[in-house]
């Protein structure tokens, strides 16, 4: 089984925050994974940005996953029959 070692991100644009500061906008484009044969790069998307992608990317520690699926809902013990 493979394990994500690093996230691959790149700058795809910029924006101005509430304080008027110019900030970069980042997009995750893939991951570095550990397999039984060694490390591998998996690109999920090729970033589209004005002027084209320059090929540079950042390697970051993986963020903790947010479990969107919480499993089956608990049984409803209401006295209302259906």
Average pLDDT over residues 31-55: 90
- Over residues 25-46, mean pLDDT: 94
For residue 54 the two structure tokens come to 């320059």
Predicted local confidence at residue 64, as pLDDT: 83
Quote the tokens at residue 71: 């499993």
The dihedral built from the CA positions of residue 62, 66, 69 and 73, taken in this order, carries a sign that is positive
Q: Is residue 43 part of a domain?
A: yes
Q: Is residue 72 part of a domain?
A: no
Number of domains the chain contains: 1
Kindly report the pTM of this predicted structure: 0.69
Residue 46 forms part of a structural domain: yes
Residues paired with residue 19 on neighbouring β-strands, in sequence order: none
Within a domain: 25? yes
21 φ, ψ to 5°? -85, 140
Average pLDDT of the residues in 1-19 = 90
Q: Are 76 and 42 in contact (CB under 8 A)?
A: no
């Amino acid at each position: 089984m493979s394990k994500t070692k690093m996230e691959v991100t790149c700058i795809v644009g910029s924006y101005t925050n509430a304080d008027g500061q110019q900030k970069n906008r980042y997009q995750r484009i893939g991951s570095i994974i550990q397999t039984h044969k060694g490390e591998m790069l998996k690109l999920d998307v090729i970033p589209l940005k004005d002027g084209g992608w320059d090929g540079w990317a950042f390697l970051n520690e993986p963020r903790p996953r947010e479990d969107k699926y919480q499993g089956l809902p608990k049984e409803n013990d209401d006295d209302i029959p259906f």
